[in-house]
Amino acid sequence: MTGFASSPPLAGSLEPSAEELPVLARIAGLLQDAKLAILTGAGLSTDSGVPDYRGPGSVPRTPMTYQEFVGDGVLRQRYWARNHLGWRHLRHADPNAGHYALAALERHGLTSGIITQNVDRLHESAGAVNVVDLHGRFDRVVCLNCRRVISRSHLADELESLNPGFVELVEAAGPIAAAPDADAALVQEEQIARFIIAECEACAGMLKPDFVFFGENVPKDRVDRSYAMVDAADALLVAGSSLTVMSGLRFPRYAKKCGKPVVIINRGPTRGDDTASIKLDAGVSPGLRYLAARLPTGAKSGG
- Asked about 135 being catalytic, the answer comes back as yes
Among candidate residues 159, 142, 160, the one with its CA nearest the CA of residue 151? 142
Among candidate residues 230, 260, 69, 6, the one with its CA nearest the CA of residue 134? 230
Count Cα neighbours of 29 within 13 Å in the Cβ-side half-sphere. 8
Which CA distances in Å does 91 have to 46, 153, 170?
A: 14, 9, 18
How deeply is 189 buried, as exposed, middle or buried, from its count of CB atoms within 10 A (0-12, 13-18, 19+)? exposed
279 contacts: CB under 8 Å, gap ≥ 6? 263, 264, 265, 266, 270, 273
User: d(Cα 155, Cα 197) in Å, to the nearest integer?
Assistant: 10
Active-site position among 89, 99, 123, 135? 135
65 contacts: CB under 8 Å, gap ≥ 6? 213, 214, 215
Residues designated as active site: 135
